[in-house]
Amino acid sequence: VVHLRDYRKPAWRVERIELDIDLSVREAIVRSRLTLARDPAQNEVLTLDGEGFALQSLALDGAQLGANDYTWDGRELRMPRARDGSVLESVATLDPSANSALQGLYLSGSDEHGFLVTQCEAQGFRRIAFFPDRPDVLARYTVTLRADRARFPVLLSNGNPAGAGELPDGRHWARWDDPHPKPSYLFALVAGRLESIEEPYVTAEGRAVTLRIYAEPDAIGRCGYAMEALKRAMRWDEEHYGRNYDLDVFHIVATHDFNMGAMENKGLNIFNAKYLLADPARSSDDDYRHVEAIVAHEYFHNWTGNRVTCRDWFQLSLKEGLTVFREQEFSGDMGSHALKRIEDVQLLRRAQFPEDAGPLAHPVRPPSYSAIDNFYTATVYDKGAELIRMIAGRLGRAGWRRGMDEYFRRHDGHAASIEEFLAALGEPNGADLSPYLDWYEQAGTPELRARGDYDAQSKVYTLTLKQHTAPTPGQAHKRALPIPVRLALLGHDGRPLPLRMAGETGGVAERVVELDGASRAFRFLGIEKPRVASLLRGFSAPVRLEAGYTGDDLAFALRHDGDEFNRWDASQQLARLAFDALMRGGGERETAVWADALAPLFDDASLDPALLAELVTPPDVIELTERVTPVDPLAVHAAREALENALALRVGAQAAARHEALARVERGALDGASQNRRRLLNRCLALWMRWQPEAGAEVAATRYVLAAGMTERQAALAQLVLRAAPQAHKALADFEQRYRDDAITLDKWFALQAQIPERDAVERVAALIDHPRFSLRNPNRVHALLRTFAARNLVAFHRADGAGYALMESALERLDRINPTTAARLATALKDWRRLEPDRRERMRRCLERLVAQARSPELTDILRRSLA
Ligand code: ARG
Ligand code: ZN
């Protein structure tokens, strides 16, 4: 276990590293030459990380070393004879084709056609060469790659090209020089038969850059959208943060075999192909949005992550939370801020809130870890982004920019900490941001209670805010956090009333108050006839709000709130009230209040179609499950179905009519307005199918065949399959046939079947594990089938006889031996066993205990242990 409090500066640094690598599928020969510098203040023996390769030779300052000159336990190399300025040369060999963990250097694809690629964050570089593999050691890299020209025509690494040429026997070489010192986790290389597309780009500062995207020959035709997105992101970072690109080339490579979404290696981003490739026939609107967002995210890391990097892995959110926030703002600018905010908060509520409420809860800056790979979490990324959003809001637009400029000025070329970040932002603004450090250090989602009292006599409206955070593992007592609450007070005509506090003249329609203790009252003066408060507008803090609204209050807000996010959230809250009542055995009145409030929206021509689609969608199953203890998964599923059915019954005719109107103009175009219409089109189809199963299924079957693009085709197929329509079987077979050779699209087929809410979906998933196109070696496929099954299929995964858990247990046991990172992520689906009703709880617990006894990898063991603790 590594503790934040044990941090010490590196005793040894590497100023330069020269890597010389001979590549082939089954063997890479890695020669490295490190120039070492010792910190004179620390009297420490040189210790380098290195594992998973075979050492051929070591030389110090030109002299070959013998077995007595060093120790290497297979993880750490210790060398007492090294001194300041020493040069360490090593030769090591490794087999990329045997690396199924996809960390370090590995083969993507087959022996015959695949290509070589790396993933070094967080600790993959140590699987390639000896190095102080920690982010606060920044070195200058020169990399020379050699390989057979026919098998590996493309040879890439970080930085600028620095020569290439022919070698005897059909081999060739290429050299790369990166002028920017970087930590080892940003190292990358790629070698193989890849094709590329290329575009020139001139930065605002006038640097000419060549942008290239590389992919396998069958995928290169689908990279154009990513290229356009990249140019938009580059321009946006220049305009909004004054940040320009800093090398002569910028390269992106797509691979189907990748543990995560993508990786920001300096000048050589490597992407999971599903977040890079896009074409109208095979990609849905969601896919397009993800590509744009992730291309931007990785590009933005060039400044927030690469130029300024993290002191240690505890500071991971320094780069991830900040970069997610930058991407969110970019995506909002490219499309709609309200829709983007709704999507981001949905993600937060579905992934981060449950994490924060369960056994894996950890602060945005964890105090310790045993497997760092397990901390690339929704908390570090998405809650981290919420913290940045609060801080940026606190500083205001100009102050935020001033603070970020100062952050780059102070820390460019260095590794920084979250304290340093807060200081750099606060000082030029005369603001003390240190109270926000508590947000970084405290796990758990605060519950914010709000009560409004109006005194008609004095015309004073008093808003009382209270906060409480439940204990989380290792943190029994919680501090009060600074919580910014953006608010308005709506009058009976729905318009915001001017808000004035003591000592102020004139009121404003919207303001932010900050709750800076356990409880506080805010008094607004001169208030005439308030109707309802609109609190936490735009989701101004990552908290659970309990405001005690009645159904009538929420229906009023749904009609009138000028904040689109809060309007949507009013619908969510109405649906939650209805769900709660259904779980208590009633719910008729509450579902009617929700459905009645939504029905008139179908006639509101001014409402954005995508917003309408979101307004008429109840919260996700995961969010609803959070509201119940102990959880009977079948009851949760049934209540959500009842909610959907009640809505469909009320608005089915309107939805059907709207569907027909939208279908008439649907041409599959990719502009924002067309995408927004399609979102509603698909939601209307879902409502129609519940309202009139037979007629609706006919329509869905037709839409499946005639679909102008993947968004509609995928949605029509999903409706047929999830609603068990008679046409489902044929459509599923057709989809498989059409896309069998396209990995990304076939994943949609696997994921959809994993969700079928029937008990025999367990057998179906088991059969799909044996499908010729399924492989535990491919993380995308594992997530599509198994993660979807565990996270989204309440009926089958939680089958009373435990068959769903057993299936997951055996898959995890096998996966642990293949790819620990992916096994550990999949295992998080079992974390909430304690919340289940007694019978299932016991079954899942036993399953976790058998697994922990079998687990080999530290990653899986860590997740299982913390889940059971
Ligand atoms: N830094 C990458 C990104 O957020 C993610 C890399 C995660 N790698 C890992 N081994 N967990 O863009
Ligand atoms: Zn990132």
Ligand nearest to the CA of 373: 1
- How far is residue 16's CA from residue 544's CA, in Å, rounded to a whole number? 49
> What local confidence, expressed as pLDDT, does residue 142 receive?
99
> What local confidence, expressed as pLDDT, does residue 83 receive?
97
Structural contact between residues 780 and 747, judged by C-beta atoms closer than 8 angstroms:
yes
Q: Which atom belonging to ligand 1 lies closest to the Cα atom of 301? A: 12
Cβ of 734: how many Cβ atoms within 10 Å?
14
- How far is residue 125's CA from residue 128's CA, in Å, rounded to a whole number? 5
Going by alpha carbons, the residue nearest to atom 8 of ligand 1 is: 121
Going by alpha carbons, the residue nearest to atom 3 of ligand 1 is: 263
- How far is residue 281's CA from residue 283's CA, in Å, rounded to a whole number? 6
Retrieve residue 684's tokens. Answer: 């209307």
Ordered strands of the 195-202 beta sheet: 195-202, 208-215, 249-255, 268-272, 262-263
Q: Which atom belonging to ligand 1 lies closest to the Cα atom of 381? A: 4
- Tens digit of each residue's pLDDT (9 = 90 or more) over 153-196: 999 999 999 999 999 999 999 999 999 999 999 999 999 999 99
Structural contact between residues 117 and 270, judged by C-beta atoms closer than 8 angstroms:
yes
> What local confidence, expressed as pLDDT, does residue 75 receive?
98
As for the ipTM of the complex, it is: 0.97
- Tens digit of each residue's pLDDT (9 = 90 or more) over 694-727: 999 999 999 999 999 999 999 999 999 999 999 9
Residue 523: pLDDT band by 50, 70, 90 thresholds?
Answer: very high
- DSSP states along 26-84: S-EEEEEEEEEEE-TT----EEEE--SSEEEEEEETTEEP-GGG-EE-SSEEEETT--T
Structural contact between residues 16 and 139, judged by C-beta atoms closer than 8 angstroms:
yes
Residues having C-beta closer than 5 Å to ion ligand 2:
320, 323
- How far is residue 257's CA from residue 266's CA, in Å, rounded to a whole number? 20
The DSSP bridge pattern shows strands 2-3 and 115-119 to be: unpaired
Q: What separation in Å is there between the alpha carbon of 684 and the centre of ligand 1? A: 37
Structural contact between residues 807 and 768, judged by C-beta atoms closer than 8 angstroms:
no
Mean pLDDT of the 254-278 span: 98
- Tens digit of each residue's pLDDT (9 = 90 or more) over 319-329: 999 999 999 99
Q: Which atom belonging to ligand 1 lies closest to the Cα atom of 294? A: 12
Q: Which secondary-structure segment (H or E) carries 119?
A: strand 115-119
- How far is residue 96's CA from residue 116's CA, in Å, rounded to a whole number? 7
> What local confidence, expressed as pLDDT, does residue 314 receive?
98
Q: What is the mean pLDDT of the chain?
A: 98
- Tens digit of each residue's pLDDT (9 = 90 or more) over 785-801: 999 999 999 999 999 99
Q: Kindly list the protein residues whose Cβ atom lies closer than 6 A to any atom of ligand 1.
A: 121-122, 259-260, 262-264, 297-298, 320, 373, 376
Q: Which secondary-structure segment (H or E) carries 117?
A: strand 115-119
Q: Maximum CA pair distance of the chain?
A: 95
Closest-CA residue to 233 (of 323, 158, 345): 323
- Tens digit of each residue's pLDDT (9 = 90 or more) over 749-779: 999 999 999 999 999 999 999 999 999 999 9
- How far is residue 212's CA from residue 438's CA, in Å, rounded to a whole number? 42
Q: What separation in Å is there between the alpha carbon of 299 and the centre of ligand 2? A: 9
Q: What separation in Å is there between the alpha carbon of 297 and the centre of ligand 2? A: 6
Q: What separation in Å is there between the alpha carbon of 320 and the centre of ligand 1? A: 9
Q: Which atom belonging to ligand 1 lies closest to the Cα atom of 305? A: 1
Going by alpha carbons, the residue nearest to atom 2 of ligand 1 is: 263
Mean pLDDT of the 29-58 span: 98
Residue to probe by mutation, ligand 1, list 133, 263, 270, most atoms within 8 Å of CB: 263
Going by alpha carbons, the residue nearest to atom 11 of ligand 1 is: 373
Ligand nearest to the CA of 185: 1
Q: Is 441 a catalytic residue?
A: no
Residue 70: pLDDT band by 50, 70, 90 thresholds?
Answer: very high
Percent of the chain scoring above 90 in pLDDT: 100
- Tens digit of each residue's pLDDT (9 = 90 or more) over 604-662: 999 999 999 999 999 999 999 999 999 999 999 999 999 999 999 999 999 999 999 99
Going by alpha carbons, the residue nearest to atom 5 of ligand 1 is: 263
Q: What separation in Å is there between the alpha carbon of 580 and the centre of ligand 1? A: 38
Residue 430: pLDDT band by 50, 70, 90 thresholds?
Answer: very high
Q: Which atom belonging to ligand 1 lies closest to the Cα atom of 124? A: 10
Cβ of 248: how many Cβ atoms within 10 Å?
14
Mean pLDDT of the 222-236 span: 99
Residues with Cβ within 8 Å of residue 512, at least 6 apart in sequence: 393, 484, 485, 486, 487, 540
Q: What separation in Å is there between the alpha carbon of 232 and the centre of ligand 2? A: 18
Q: How far, CA to CA in Å, does 356 sit from each of 241, 353, 680, 789, 832? A: 32, 5, 32, 22, 11
Q: What separation in Å is there between the alpha carbon of 208 and the centre of ligand 1? A: 29
Residue to probe by mutation, ligand 1, list 106, 121, 323, most atoms within 8 Å of CB: 121
Alpha helix segments (H runs only) across 189-306 = 224-241, 285-300
Going by alpha carbons, the residue nearest to atom 12 of ligand 1 is: 263
Residues with Cβ within 8 Å of residue 472, at least 6 apart in sequence: 356, 361, 362, 443, 444
Q: What separation in Å is there between the alpha carbon of 319 and the centre of ligand 2? A: 7
Structural contact between residues 314 and 252, judged by C-beta atoms closer than 8 angstroms:
no
- Burial code (b: 16+ CB inside 10 Å, e: under 16) for 439-454 equals bbbbbbbbebbbebee
Mean pLDDT of the 73-91 span: 98
- Tens digit of each residue's pLDDT (9 = 90 or more) over 350-394: 999 999 999 999 999 999 999 999 999 999 999 999 999 999 999
> What local confidence, expressed as pLDDT, does residue 95 receive?
98
> What local confidence, expressed as pLDDT, does residue 149 receive?
98
- How far is residue 336's CA from residue 342's CA, in Å, rounded to a whole number? 10
Ligand nearest to the CA of 135: 1
Structural contact between residues 393 and 539, judged by C-beta atoms closer than 8 angstroms:
no
Percent of the chain scoring above 70 in pLDDT: 100
- Tens digit of each residue's pLDDT (9 = 90 or more) over 820-840: 999 999 999 999 999 999 999
> What local confidence, expressed as pLDDT, does residue 447 receive?
98
Residue to probe by mutation, ligand 1, list 126, 133, 260, 375, most atoms within 8 Å of CB: 260
Q: Which of 18, 121, 216, 298 is catalytic?
A: 298
